[in-house]
Structure 1
Amino acid sequence: MSNSKGGEGQRRDRGDSETERDTTGSQPTVFALGEERLSLLELRALSPQEAVWRGRSVGLSDALIMMVDDEMLNIEMTEAFLADAGYRHFVNTDRPELAVPMMRKEQPGVLLLDLSMPRVSGMDILAAMREDAVLRHVPVIVLTSSTDPQVKLKALALGAMDFLSKPVDPSELALRIRNTLAASAYREYLSQHDTLTALPNKQRYRRDMTAVLDEALASAHPGALIHVGVDDLGRINDALGRVVGDQLLQRVAKRLASCVQTEHGGELSSDQHNPTLYRFDGDEFAIIVPYMEGVPSAAFINKLLEDSTVNFQRAGFPELFVTCSVGVSVFPNDGTEPDVLMRNAGLALRHAKLAGPHRYEFFSPQFKDMALSRLDLSAELRHAVSRDEIELLYEPRVELATGRVVAAEAVLRWRHASGRMIEGDELMDLAGSSEMDVVLNEWKFEALLKHVKNWRTAGLQLVPIAAKVSLANMRPSDLAHLVNASIAGGLDARLLLLELQQVAALDNLPAREAAAIAGMRKKGVRVALARFGCNASVSHLRQLPCDEILVDPSFVRDLDRDGTAQAMLLGIGDLARRLRLACVACGVETAQQLAFLKKNGWTLGQGPLFGERLPGLAFAARWLARGSKPVHAPMPSNLS
């Protein structure tokens, strides 16, 4: 054996044919005196073999083990023993000043590091590794003859994972290496895989996308990113619980994985890569298609839509069918950077969902233009109030059995200078994203108080007024201040209903804010959760004492063609009755929808079927004059 100093870094791959080494000579200081070579049975017990978790295996014997020690004899004896224990790949140096450059060139799975070395100490190497964004994650086992506890503490503080005092028991060293590699591999696995579906996660998606894109650009062939989103997962979580939603995601993941797996080695694969499935975010999956062109691409997308449709049934509910939508961006046409392509695939998916469930869209530049247009609208909204472009409209809320108007919902409309009308939930969402919702709420209460005073002066028959209020940027205590000012100005608290939107802000509500809502209710103001099943969920009912829930219009809109929407609507209605809450079906447009609601015990509704939204004066003349007739919505001829 050579004990020379100053040798260059060496890498060795050792096979099973490695000859036995003579250990009867001078004992290397790395091992304990008198330690004999382990028996074959003991070696097999220490052999890394395969570490198994979550249905996957990682070969620890393939890990690269690096050793830095100024005594080459220690290095050679250690490598010989570890080779017998099943490890095959080693790199070493007895020149510590070369250690960090060597690790940057070829990152090891574990580093065995001596502390007491000339020129550059092990502590110096640990400090340099700690400053490196990549090397700081390399697990280090320190081997040293020092018995000073402060040395051990300093090494651990600098990032060492384990510490062994020389002379080292070889079997203990093998166990420490095995456990360190297993823990490191498992940590790496968790960092790149989704815990719910076991699919590669967003971090892995970004990394793999870079490699696939580099190959495609170099070979001048097209590829694609496909984003797959589960339709209306939020509604399922709200109606049936998040556990059911997670089970649904797992089933969709298995179906998509099976569909993608069948394409390996086929027309959608490139020379170096196969199509791969990832869990991207929330209700969304992603697929990297290395090669995508022509008819096979369309067939694959249709197969994704078909295979991702799942059905399930629970006691007391009809059979539910859950679908997915798909958005596609193609490279290099839609971008040559991973972030741009991912953003464009996401935009395509959102437009597919807006067009209706179970659809697909390829990215179009107009999608980006629309997103930029929304940013422009947000900026212009800040000037809309001063330009007198905002008006307050009223929509009738009726008793379904009689058609009698029992309340009115106050709705903001923005008459944009271009002639476009933006109103209702669209305007509230836009205001929330641009932090203009507080200003619009203040303007709404001023206009509402003015209208109510005029109606009372004219001797009209008043009905409760529902005011939508976004809590995206407004605290309940600030809302209470607006309400109290309106009541002080002459508004009867019993005629005011607050429809709270963007109620995610109510999560973990401080006691002071909860007291503000309770104080308004105590004065006679009614409180409702708006867009229930979309932006508000069952969990908010537990946090917020309220009097009503307003079902999101999407449930009613899909009644005629979606059994899932029917089942969920029935479930929400039953929940409201059990909690003794008024429940309003919003967005009623057709006589068939009205018939379904009446047949299933719903009492309140609003929507285009009952009359258009009107300015204050026109609404009062139509609905508040004494002797006004009830709404008579047309009924379908095939009612059963």
Structure 2
Amino acid sequence: MMEQLDPAGAASRARARDAEREGPVTQPTVFAPGEDKLSESELRALSPQDVLWRHRSGPALSDALIMMVDDEMLNIEMTQAFLQEAGYRHFVYTDAPEFAVAMMRKEVPAVLLLDLSMPKVNGLDILATMRDDPVLRHVPVIVLTISTDPHVKLKALAMGAMDFLSKPVDPSELGLRIRNTLAASAYREYLGHHDALTGLPNKQRYRQQVVDVLAAADAAGNSGALLHVGVDALGRINDALGRTVGDQMLQRIAKRLASCVQTESGGELSSEKFEPALFRYDGDEFAIVVPYMEGVHTAAAFISKLLEDGAVSYHRHGAPEVFVTCSIGVSVFPADGMDADLLMRNAGMALRHAKQAGRHRYEFFSPRFNEVAQSRLDLSAELRHAIRRDEIDLLYEPRVDLTTGLVVAAQSLVRWKHGSGRVIQGDELMDLAGSSEMDVALAEWSFDQMRAHTKNWRGAGLVPVPTGIKVSMANMLPSDLGYLVNAAISAGMDPRTISLELQHVSALDSLPAKETAAMEALRQKGVRVALDRFGCVASIAHLRKLVCDEIKVDPSFVKDLEQDGTAQAMLLGIADVARRLRLSCVACSVDTPAQLAFLRRNAWDLGQGAVFGEPLPGLAFAAKWLTRSGKPQRLPFPDGVR
């Protein structure tokens, strides 16, 4: 498309024809005489089709819009002919510079060829206007002028011109300058819309794609989905093995996800206008736009395939093999909304719930996520202040040998009485701390409190019993935990009275050798390690990877055992596994005599819960359950329990 877009062109061409009749042109044109024609091989060297570069094809450069502003029509015609021969298809021009800015605002050029010495409006005026325009200021400008004044050249460059060529111009040089300028602009545009690490379209492109897909879906009346794919525990890999390894894992996952998405092109997840597309959304997160689906079941197989393909391993000589998995959050349109930002936020919220529920799984967004998320957000912010303001207490409850009734240990319990009157304690508080990255601070506070309580007990002549302390590993490495424990030991605590009850242990699935050694070093000092919430958050798979001394069964099993035969069978199965592995097994939340009777009938090891008494502050617990001799107190079982 070679066209003139200004009303003054006809007059200019007439002036040029009159000048030709009167005699030879004395003013230098854009090319020196004899240089307006190049050989075929020279033209081919300047052609955009021969630009082979990483991110943009030659044909795409050929389609770039080139604009020229020059008051001499002969210059424009010669340049137009030259560019057409070189392979550029889109050229617009004006020989009336007062219309130049309006033309550019109507259709922004990829590069502007600008003369400086023109009547009415000169090239410097145009540059000044472009510099003040938020869009035109980014248009590359190549100045073509007869002026040789270095001050003029510097002024043009200072006002934003990218290049400066004095007339007459060598056509080969002009062709190369245009080609290289277009290539550089295209690459800059690419970097602005693509992720440098994976080469995938970035978050900006993702949002635009969502807007476009939603508009098409609204017009067609069809459904679709946004999938946010998050890499599980990438931060731990970066901390343990270095960011280089983490980046390599991201690149591998990106390739596998891209292959999976590409197989759906033209399939049942494609709409008339759009195919499923993959984007790099954020640090450890990818996003996929599914433009069409007949129902949630349509995407189920695709989601399962993404989970499978998103699991990769890394093995370095002399180091253990590291496995990385992904989790997926899904928002569906129009059911979850038709606003791009809302749907993206909903998909991200669903992803966070998927990770909190155990990782390597997927979750669909539901409105209740909003309520839960807002509540957790408010509580997380307040928890930071609660620790500083001493609004949290560390209480203790007895742990009982169910065969003898002896109080053989204590269980610490973190309790927060919120200003609203709501009490947040135990596992609920640990989950809140883990999701808000307050778990490290809460663990440090718990150790400080337990150390002070133990010191008071010893000062009163009482013998402390082994005490379980809950520790979330969501944001903490074993080496960090080792630092806290060693500080407590250095302050006078007996390591044999410390029992670390580990929660959120999925974060420990891929640990380097030094971190595994840190946990084992604590056990060698006499510290006990327990796997908490077994059967729910922790599983048998974790027993194979984490050496421990004890398992604590998730409270849900004991809660349901009176009405649920399946819960009874599973509970007894867990006890059998523990015995075969020579591990202590603790039943948590034993709250009724019927639950206690069932456990005793089935020769259960240890139990704790409300049936043995409510949690007590440190001094009250010591007064009731600790002795000077160290001989454990015997707790009488409720009536009817044998």
Same fold, judged at TM 0.5 (above): yes
Q: How does 1:220-239 map to 2 (within 5 A)?
A: 220-239=221-240
Aligned partner of 2:112 in structure 1 is 111
Shift of 1:267: 1.9
Which stretch of the first structure deviates more once superposed, 27-36 or 241-250?
Answer: 27-36
Which stretch of the first structure deviates more once superposed, 235-244 or 608-617?
Answer: 608-617
Aligned partner of 2:516 in structure 1 is 573
Q: CA separation of 1:409/1:262 partners in 2, compared to 1, >3 Å: closer, same or farther?
A: same
One-letter amino acid matched to 1:323: T
**Matched-pair contact (CA < 8 Å) for 1:235–1:533:** no
Aligned partner of 1:369 in structure 2 is 371
Q: How does 1:167-316 map to 2 (within 5 A)?
A: 167-294=168-295, 295-315=297-317
Query: Hey, what's the Cα distance between the residues in 2 that align with 1:103 and 1:537?
Result: 61
Query: Hey, what's the Cα distance between the residues in 1 that align with 2:385 and 2:358?
Result: 33
Match of 2:393 among 387, 391, 394: 391
One-letter amino acid matched to 2:511: M
Residue 78 of structure 2 corresponds to residue 77 of structure 1? yes
Q: CA separation of 1:583/1:443 partners in 2, compared to 1, >3 Å: closer, same or farther?
A: closer
Secondary structure (helix, strand or coil) at the match of 1:107 reads: coil
Query: Hey, what's the Cα distance between the residues in 2 that align with 1:409 and 1:453?
Result: 16
**Number of paired residues?**
538
Q: CA separation of 1:177/1:406 partners in 2, compared to 1, >3 Å: closer, same or farther?
A: farther
Which stretch of the first structure deviates more once superposed, 33-42 or 610-619?
Answer: 610-619
Which stretch of the first structure deviates more once superposed, 102-111 or 442-451?
Answer: 442-451
Query: Hey, what's the Cα distance between the residues in 2 that align with 1:46 and 1:118?
Result: 32
- Please say which structure displays the higher CA radius of gyration: 2
For residues 511-531 of structure 1, the C-alpha deviation after alignment (integer angstroms, 9 at most, x for no partner) is xxxxxxxxxxxxxxxxxxx86
**Matched-pair contact (CA < 8 Å) for 1:334–1:341:** yes
Aligned partner of 2:130 in structure 1 is 129
Query: Hey, what's the Cα distance between the residues in 2 that align with 1:359 and 1:194?
Result: 26
Residue 491 of structure 2 corresponds to residue 534 of structure 1? no
Secondary structure (helix, strand or coil) at the match of 1:52 reads: coil
Query: Hey, what's the Cα distance between the residues in 1 that align with 2:424 and 2:135?
Result: 53
One-letter amino acid matched to 2:40: L
Q: CA separation of 1:108/1:584 partners in 2, compared to 1, >3 Å: closer, same or farther?
A: farther
**Matched-pair contact (CA < 8 Å) for 2:478–2:515:** no
One-letter amino acid matched to 2:248: Q
Q: How does 1:378-527 map to 2 (within 5 A)?
A: 390-393=392-395, 411=414, 413-414=416-417, 417=420, 419-422=422-425, 425-426=430-431, 428=433, 451=453, 454-455=456-457, 457-461=459-463
Shift of 1:130: 2.1
Secondary structure (helix, strand or coil) at the match of 2:52 reads: strand
Q: How does 1:582-601 map to 2 (within 5 A)?
A: 588-589=531-532
Query: Hey, what's the Cα distance between the residues in 2 that align with 1:597 and 1:299?
Result: 28
Q: CA separation of 1:598/1:81 partners in 2, compared to 1, >3 Å: closer, same or farther?
A: closer
Shift of 1:367: 0.6
Secondary structure (helix, strand or coil) at the match of 1:291 reads: strand
Query: Hey, what's the Cα distance between the residues in 1 that align with 2:243 and 2:517?
Result: 19
RMSD, matched Cα: 4.9
Secondary structure (helix, strand or coil) at the match of 2:48 reads: coil
Q: CA separation of 1:227/1:148 partners in 2, compared to 1, >3 Å: closer, same or farther?
A: same
Which stretch of the first structure deviates more once superposed, 340-349 or 621-630?
Answer: 621-630
Aligned partner of 2:92 in structure 1 is 91
Secondary structure (helix, strand or coil) at the match of 1:588 reads: strand
Which stretch of the first structure deviates more once superposed, 260-269 or 234-243?
Answer: 234-243
Shift of 1:534: 3.0
Shift of 1:357: 2.2
Q: CA separation of 1:360/1:270 partners in 2, compared to 1, >3 Å: closer, same or farther?
A: same
Query: Hey, what's the Cα distance between the residues in 2 that align with 1:332 and 1:344?
Result: 12
One-letter amino acid matched to 2:124: M
Q: CA separation of 1:160/1:606 partners in 2, compared to 1, >3 Å: closer, same or farther?
A: farther
**Matched-pair contact (CA < 8 Å) for 2:396–2:618:** yes
Q: How does 1:544-559 map to 2 (within 5 A)?
A: 553=502, 556=505
**Matched-pair contact (CA < 8 Å) for 2:502–2:532:** no
Give me the TM-score of the superposition, normalised by structure 1. Answer: 0.70
**Matched-pair contact (CA < 8 Å) for 1:405–1:630:** yes
Secondary structure (helix, strand or coil) at the match of 1:147 reads: coil
Query: Hey, what's the Cα distance between the residues in 1 that align with 2:550 and 2:487?
Result: 12
Shift of 1:326: 1.2
Shift of 1:320: 5.0
Query: Hey, what's the Cα distance between the residues in 2 that align with 1:153 and 1:47?
Result: 30
For residues 393-438 of structure 1, the C-alpha deviation after alignment (integer angstroms, 9 at most, x for no partner) is 36999xxxxxx999998945345646442455445468878xx999
Secondary structure (helix, strand or coil) at the match of 1:259 reads: helix
Q: Which structure 2 segments of 5+ residues have no match?
A: 11-22, 400-406, 489-498, 554-584, 587-606, 609-614, 634-642
Shift of 1:317: 5.7
Query: Hey, what's the Cα distance between the residues in 1 that align with 2:84 and 2:245?
Result: 49
Q: CA separation of 1:532/1:366 partners in 2, compared to 1, >3 Å: closer, same or farther?
A: closer
Query: Hey, what's the Cα distance between the residues in 2 that align with 1:358 and 1:48?
Result: 47
Query: Hey, what's the Cα distance between the residues in 2 that align with 1:396 and 1:167?
Result: 96
One-letter amino acid matched to 1:534: N
Shift of 1:254: 1.4
Query: Hey, what's the Cα distance between the residues in 1 that align with 2:241 and 2:385?
Result: 43
Give me the TM-score of the superposition, normalised by structure 2. Answer: 0.70
Which stretch of the first structure deviates more once superposed, 441-450 or 166-175?
Answer: 441-450
Aligned partner of 1:336 in structure 2 is 338
Shift of 1:461: 4.5
**Matched-pair contact (CA < 8 Å) for 2:55–2:187:** no
Query: Hey, what's the Cα distance between the residues in 2 that align with 1:238 and 1:583?
Result: 28
**Matched-pair contact (CA < 8 Å) for 2:271–2:291:** yes
Q: CA separation of 1:41/1:622 partners in 2, compared to 1, >3 Å: closer, same or farther?
A: farther
Q: CA separation of 1:455/1:292 partners in 2, compared to 1, >3 Å: closer, same or farther?
A: same
Aligned partner of 2:47 in structure 1 is 47
Q: CA separation of 1:180/1:621 partners in 2, compared to 1, >3 Å: closer, same or farther?
A: farther
Which stretch of the first structure deviates more once superposed, 263-272 or 228-237?
Answer: 228-237
One-letter amino acid matched to 2:237: I
Q: CA separation of 1:422/1:29 partners in 2, compared to 1, >3 Å: closer, same or farther?
A: farther
**Matched-pair contact (CA < 8 Å) for 1:390–1:413:** yes
Q: CA separation of 1:455/1:108 partners in 2, compared to 1, >3 Å: closer, same or farther?
A: same
Secondary structure (helix, strand or coil) at the match of 2:532 reads: coil
Secondary structure (helix, strand or coil) at the match of 1:32 reads: coil
For residues 202-242 of structure 1, the C-alpha deviation after alignment (integer angstroms, 9 at most, x for no partner) is 12111222222222222222221111112222333344433
Residue 350 of structure 2 corresponds to residue 351 of structure 1? no
Q: Which structure 1 segments of 5+ residues have no match?
A: 10-23, 398-403, 469-529, 559-563, 632-640
Shift of 1:107: 1.6
Secondary structure (helix, strand or coil) at the match of 1:568 reads: coil
Aligned partner of 1:38 in structure 2 is 38
Secondary structure (helix, strand or coil) at the match of 2:353 reads: helix
Shift of 1:64: 1.0
Query: Hey, what's the Cα distance between the residues in 2 that align with 1:437 and 1:575?
Result: 17
**Matched-pair contact (CA < 8 Å) for 2:394–2:412:** no
**Matched-pair contact (CA < 8 Å) for 1:226–1:288:** yes
Aligned partner of 2:66 in structure 1 is 65
One-letter amino acid matched to 1:45: A
Shift of 1:533: 7.4
One-letter amino acid matched to 2:358: G
Q: CA separation of 1:311/1:557 partners in 2, compared to 1, >3 Å: closer, same or farther?
A: closer
Query: Hey, what's the Cα distance between the residues in 2 that align with 1:556 and 1:314?
Result: 23
